[in-house]
Amino acid sequence: MLIGEVHLGAVRKNSHHFVALVHSWTKRFFAALWLVAVLSTQGFAGTSLLPVKLDEYGRITIPVTLEGGKQEQYFLLDTAARRSLLLNKDSGLSAVRLYQQGTIRHFSSHGLLRLPAAVIAGWKIGDRLVGNSLIGLYPDNASARGLVGNDDFVGHILHWAPKQKRLGVYTNTLPISTAAWHNIGGKPNRHFSMMLKTEYQGEEITVLVATGTSRTLLDNDTASRLSQGAKNRPIDKRPSAMSAIGLGFPSKSFRELILPDFKIGAWSLGDIKVLSARVDVREITGFMDAPVMILGADILLKHEVAFDFRDYQLWVHMQ
Residue extents of the structural domains in the chain: 15-22+47-170, 178-317
pLDDT in tens, 138-149: 999 998 999 999
pLDDT in tens, 38-70: 332 222 234 688 989 999 999 999 999 987 666
**Domain 15-22+47-170 shares a fold with domain 178-317:** yes
What's the sign of the alpha-carbon dihedral 170, 264, 237, 225? positive
Burial class from Cβ neighbours inside 10 Å (0-12, 13-18, 19+) for residue 296 reads buried
Q: Please give the model's pTM, rounded to 2 decimal places.
A: 0.80
Q: SS3 helix, strand, coil % of the chain, rounded to 5?
A: 15, 45, 40
What is the pLDDT, as a whole number, of residue 98?
84
Query: Does residue 8 register a pLDDT over 70?
Result: no
pLDDT in tens, 76-113: 999 999 899 999 998 888 788 887 668 888 888 778 88
Query: Does residue 7 register a pLDDT over 70?
Result: no
- What fold characterizes domain 178-317? Cathepsin D, subunit A; domain 1 (2.40.70)
When computed from its CA atoms, the radius of gyration of the chain, rounded to whole angstroms, is: 19
Using pLDDT thresholds of 50, 70 and 90, give the confidence band for residue 319: low
Is 15-22+47-170 a CATH 2.40.70.10 domain?
yes
